[in-house]
Amino acid sequence: MEPFVTIMHFDLPLALEQEFGGFLNRSMMNYYEDYCELLFEAYGDRVKNWITFNEPNVATTFGYMWGFGPPYSRKCLPPKCVKPVGDKTREPYIVTHNYILAHAAAVKLYRKKFQATQRGKVGIVLQVSDYKPVTLEHENVAAAQRLLDFHTGWYVEPLVFGHYPQSLKVILKDRLPTFTGKERKMKDISTGPCLIILNGLMASAKDMGFTTLIFKTISIACQKNLLNGSMHSSMAIPLEPPRLFANNLLTELLVEKGVSGMM
């Protein structure tokens, strides 16, 4: 059996969250890199496959946009309820930016100090789905592409090309961090002795699988109405073959809510 070791799987130490604000703080990159170096030195002779982060796109969306994952910034947790804090329109993108830079730093560290002797790989696991338009009308094709950009391209394009998808730049404007020239030089982290596992599609699709969701565009008024509700409803429905989405009005409504939630 060949081990794949995940360095961070939704388990940031509480002390780092309380003292520094977790990955909202750029300095977390340095602490994370130190931790990676410790692990590479201690276990690199036996571990040849390292995962820097498990599904960071899930962690940022659940934790900083919707608030029902760590650090629960927008959720009222009995018996103690506090007023929601933070800015869900900016924080997910700041945390994502710092995750990407931390991943790049870990890969660079491994290649520089450990690759020659340990001959392993460092990668990242992303949660992805396949998004298809409900029809080939331009607005529906654009809606599906937009969601693909916000959900998957959000991480994949910086890792491969060194920049975010154009649609994110247009929609988010100054809410989206930018990479410096030096940081863009780290963009080749997905080449050579590195791997990106898209929810198992690259390594074990038959075991983990993926979901195809069918989308159509909705009006601004409808988006505002849906955003006022519980956006995570679409995450709770069974993920069935795509043919069901064309005939199930309730499912379509919940899926549309997911689209609006990503804008």
Q: Residue 126 sits in a domain of what CATH number?
A: 3.20.20.80
- Asked if the structure places residue 49 within a domain, the reply is yes
Highest mean pLDDT among 70-74, 95-99, 160-164, 243-247: 95-99
Model confidence pLDDT, tens digit, residues 91-109: 999 999 999 999 989 999 9
- Asked if the structure places residue 253 within a domain, the reply is no
**Structural domain containing residue 105:** 4-131+151-204
pTM: 0.74
Asked if 146 and 154 count as a contact pair (C-beta separation under 8 A), the reply is no
| Beta bridge mates, 87 | none
- Tokens describing residue 217: 């565009």
- C-alpha 2/C-alpha 10 separation (Å) is 23
Residue 72, pLDDT above cutoff 50? yes
- For the chain, the domain total comes to 1
- What's the pLDDT score for residue 147? 87
- Asked if the structure places residue 27 within a domain, the reply is yes
Residue 166, pLDDT above cutoff 80? yes
- Asked if the structure places residue 227 within a domain, the reply is no
